[in-house]
Amino acid sequence: MTLREEIERRRTFAIISHPDAGKTTLTEKLLLFGGAIHVAGAVKSNKIKRGATSDFMEIERQRGISVATSVMGFEYEGVKINILDTPGHEDFAEDTYRTLTAVDSVIIVIDGAKGVETQTRKLMNVCRMRNTPVIVFINKLDRPCKDPFDLLDEVEKELQIRVRPLAFPISSGQTFKGVYNLYEHNINLFTSDQRQTADASTVEIDDIASTQLDELVGGKFAAQLRNDVELVEGVYEPFDREEYLKGHLAPIFFGSAINNFGVRELLECFIRIAPSPRPSTTQTRTVMPDEPKLTGFIFKIHANMDPNHRDRIAFLKICSGVFERNRNYLHVGSGKMLKFSAPTAFMAEKKSVIDTAYPGDIVGLHDSGNFKIGDTFTEGEKLKFTGIPSFSPELFRYIENADPMKFKQLAKGIDQLMDEGVAQLFVSSLNGRKIIGTVGALQFEVIEYRLEHEYGAKCRWEPISIHKACWIESDNAAQLADFKMRKHANMATDKHGRDVFLADTSYSLALAQEKFPDIRFHFTSEF
């Protein structure tokens, strides 16, 4: 197969949802269809159950599971599908944001009874920043759900994207009859079957005006469907794939993942419309996937579960060319040529050494602590991929050394955990103290635990009152200098030495923005 053909048959995507909407269940059903797993229950939910926030065994277990399910690759009808897993717990949202930088499209799962929830909204903001194409799967139709039109309106309004249903449900809950495919003009009749190979019974309907429909779903629901379809065709424009690919229009499906219902339709449509690997932007140029030379970047680093072996797995997303085992590549960050004798690929739960990988694929590289999130690999060109930002953290604490004999271990531990992207480090300009910023409270516990168990260091947390960290810059040097002098007590530097303003309240931030109009305040590290 040519490089072009390999690229065209790849679909690299993530399934995202608010916890409990059914992401794990849907992932599992997709893997079952792909033949990548054979029994239900093989994909373990990687969410940390509520109330288990102090249970470190749970965190460790989670890390074990998430490395196993980080990337799930499988073949379906000649298409190579790579599903990138994202952590379920919202405290690990930043991990999810970064994973979204490595995908070409996403499927959003929404609970039909709950509608759009907070986490979905936040994740959609990241997709919107990158114009990632999204398909929406409205799940749990076997339960009483909100009215489908209300759900469509909610998605459109809350996720700020135009929608186009490709299928439409016939009732929900106890009276759920099935889903009408608006393009193929057939009805998928609902059968509650949790078995993996359940092939729902599909009936072709040439004309929904015919009495055949009444016989299938009953007069009342047939009449309702006719009204609904008329309304859909009247209100929504026909599906336009170009608009979907630009991230402007989301096709909508309805189903019930646990019952394996509507999943095949979703998958069939997905492989037809979802994009193959897209061009990637760097600081200097756009990289096309079919360029012959290899380029790729690291979007995730996973520490070893075994504290005696502090090696890590770095996840490399291939952006162009062909990756080959035992070939020398330039690690742009260090300027060193490196080769990998055992790069791994992930097929469902299995990890195996590979010889080659193509754009869209994810390769696991062994790392003894030298790689950082965002690192680029090439065949010699000095490129830096953009679009892998750090997000402004929301929780802050001073980190102090609690064991004076272990100063070095602590410094190294903090350094490596920050490279892994567990949290962000800022150094106060006022007193030189180290401040850790995170998106969730759980990270502080994870850091403390891992520093002790993996680096033999002890830390202590001290409170600091910060509302938000933002990166600042300005073309007006005088105003910037004036700002930094006045706000000296609230200034810090990030790990690249850039200026960060630590606003103590939303009010002081708003005031600063008003008083210093020439200063730009950024809430992601990339601007």
Residues that bind ligand G4P (CB under 6 A): 17, 19-25, 45, 47, 88, 139-140, 142-143, 256-259
Q: Which of 239, 24, 221 is nearest to 139 (CA)?
A: 24
Q: End-to-end CA distance of the chain, in Å? A: 39
In the structure encoding, which two tokens stand for residue 456, read together?
């033999």
- Which residues, in sequence order, are bridge partners of residue 500? 471, 492
- Which residues, in sequence order, are bridge partners of residue 203? 187
Name the helix (H) or strand (E) containing 365: strand 362-367
Amino acid letter for position 113: A
Extended beta strands in 154-248, E state: 162-165, 167-170, 178-181, 186-189, 201-204
Residue that is written with structure tokens 């630009």 in the block? 246
Residue that is written with structure tokens 């903090």 in the block? 414
Q: How far is the CB of 85 from ligand G4P (least distance, A)?
A: 10
Q: How far is the CB of 426 from ligand G4P (least distance, A)?
A: 32
Which residues neighbour 358 within 8 Å (Cβ) at sequence distance 6 or greater?
Answer: 3, 6, 7, 10, 318, 322, 323
35 vs 382: CA distance, rounded Å = 40
Q: Give the nearer residue to ligand G4P in terms of CB position, either 37 or 519.
A: 37
Q: What is the 3-state secondary structure (H, E, C) of 312-351?
A: EEEEEEEEECCEECCCCEEECCCCEEECCCCCEEEECCEE
Q: Give the nearer residue to ligand G4P in terms of CB position, either 20 or 154.
A: 20
